[in-house]
Amino acid sequence: MDRHYDMFEVLPDGILIWRDSVAGHDNAINKLREYATMTDNEVRVMHLETNAIIATMYGRSTVGPSWGVD
C-alpha cells in the first residue's frame, strides 16, 4: 500500500499553501519536480500522518541544484 503525501508551496513570508495530494513516494518526488518548475518558491513533500518533510525543492529562480530527498 502506497503512503499518501501532500505537496505544499512555501511563500516568502513562510505561509504554507497546500497544492496537491499524491500516492506513492516516487510519484510525490516527480510531482515535486513538476511544481518546482512552476514557481519561484520552495515546494515540499510532507507525510502528514508523521509530520515528516520527505523532500524539498526550490523553484526556478534558484541557481543550481538545491533540493533534498529523504
Per-domain boundaries in the chain: 4-69
Model confidence at 1, pLDDT cuts 50, 70, 90, reads low
Question: Is the separation of the CB atoms in 64 and 58 below 8 Å?
Answer: no
User: CA-CA distance, 58 to 19, in Å (whole number)?
Assistant: 15
Give the CA distances from residue 60 to residues 4, 28, 50, 51, in Å, rounded to whole numbers and listed in that order.
26, 18, 29, 26
Q: What is the pLDDT of residues 7-65, one digit of tens each?
A: 999 999 999 999 999 999 999 999 999 999 999 999 999 999 999 999 999 987 654 44
Give the pLDDT of residue 60: 74
Residue 69: is its pLDDT beyond 70?
Answer: no
